[in-house]
Amino acid sequence: MSVPTLLHFEEEQAFADALARAAGLQPMRVARHRFPDGEISLRLPTPLPARVVLLRSLYQPNEKLLELLLAGRAARLHGARHLTLVAPYLAYMRQDAEFHPGEVVSQRIVGRFLADLFDAVLTVDPHLHRVATLGEAVPCSHAIALSAAPALGAWVAGKRPHALLVGPDEESAQWVARAAAGQGLAHAVCRKTRHGDHAVDIELPAGLAVAGKAVVLLDDVASTGQTLARAAGLLLQAGAASVDVAVTHALFAGDALALIRQAGVGEVWSTDCIPHASNAVSLAGTLAEALRQLPAG
């Protein structure tokens, strides 16, 4: 039986090599040409074995979704019978309801699009708020959501052994609790009200004692950085000795990092689900282990 192939794109070479080594896959790059008018042309390494894994972390997702359509359909034509998507960051999961009439529920539509292309989809800390499982959002045979919380918790405990872990909003409670429990750290969760893309209000938990403490804010995503900056400012005002940040997905749009630094944050740590200068924790091993556990066939 031939070794399953790990298809990847040029920008994800380092993660692909680590994942392929850990999962026993043969890494092969998809070549891409961009025409002067913006269209893209892909070329797969052929022939392909029956089992193919495609790596594509879906930050800056719009063009990558088209790449998945082209590469996924072509991989089937070239012999792939079982196709897995490893998307360390899964985009379009936040719009999970029609908040205003006519609003497109992109989670459902993008999820169905991926489920039609792939037999299995693996990701890390997808933003599932109003649905309980990844399978509801991405209805394919194996929809697997892994968490970076244990690895981030271990990293934080190594750097700040007595840290108080704080989640900036109710949705972060799941990750903060898990990261804290694995290391025996104290934790708490704030309340957040979002007024717009760049406007959030945060309330610290009533009676939370932070004076003199090394606080680490932990969240799934940092996008504009408003959530972390606002929470960090309040924690420092309340007397925290330091505030550092640990996130799974380092989107850091625009001047997000500068905003977070201006708020007084010290260290910023992230996983390599999205390549960024703050990457400190690798999830390649965790994803490789999950790939090994997928049923054959």
Contact mark string toward ligand R5P, 5..44, x via CB under 6 A: ----------------------------------------
Report the residue count for the chain.
297
Q: Edge-to-edge strands of the sheet including 5-8?
A: 26-29, 5-8, 51-55, 82-87, 120-124, 142-146
Q: Which of 64, 159, 192, 213 is catalytic?
A: 192
Shorter beta-carbon distance to ligand R5P: residue 197 or 289: 197
Total binding residues for ligand R5P by CB under 6 A? 14
Q: State yes or no: residue 125 binds ligand R5P (CB under 6 A).
A: no
d(CA 53, CA 121): 10
Which letter does DSSP use for residue 184 in this model?
T
User: Quick check: 278 binds ligand R5P (CB under 6 A)?
Assistant: no
By the rule CB under 6 A, 96 interacts with ligand R5P: no
Quick one: 169 or 272, whose CB is closer to ligand R5P?
169
218 beta partners: 246
Least separation in angstroms between CB 156 and ligand R5P? 17
* DSSP type of residue 106: H
Comparing C-alpha atoms, which of 25, 26, 32, 42 is closest to residue 10? 32
Pick 154 or 173: Cβ nearer ligand R5P: 173
Q: How far is the CB of 226 from ligand R5P (least distance, A)?
A: 4
Residue 192 designated active-site: yes
Identify which of 263, 203, 205, 211 has the alpha carbon closest to the alpha carbon of residue 239: 211
CB 274 within 8 A of CB 57: yes
For residues 177 and 294, which CB has a smaller minimum distance to ligand R5P in the complex?
Answer: 177
Question: 173-183 and 149-159 are packed helices; what angle lies between their axes, rounded to 10 degrees?
Answer: 50
Nearer to ligand R5P, 117 or 189 (CB): 189
Rounded Cα distance between 51 and 47, Å, is: 12
The span from the CA of 187 to the CA of 72, in Å, is 42
Q: Segment contacting ligand R5P (CB under 6 A): 50-58, 167-175, 180-188, 276-284?
A: 167-175
Beta strands in 48-149 (DSSP E): 51-55, 82-87, 120-124, 142-146
Q: Which stretch binds ligand R5P (CB under 6 A): 49-57, 66-74, 169-177, 202-210?
A: 169-177
Angle at 26 between CA 23 and CA 32, to 5 degrees: 120
Site for ligand R5P in 212-251 (CB under 6 A): 219-227
- Minimum Å gap between C-beta 238 and ligand R5P is 20
Q: Is residue 271 a contact point for ligand R5P (CB under 6 A)?
A: no
Where along the sequence are the contacts to ligand R5P (CB under 6 A)?
Answer: 168-169, 171-172, 200, 219-227
Active site residues: 192
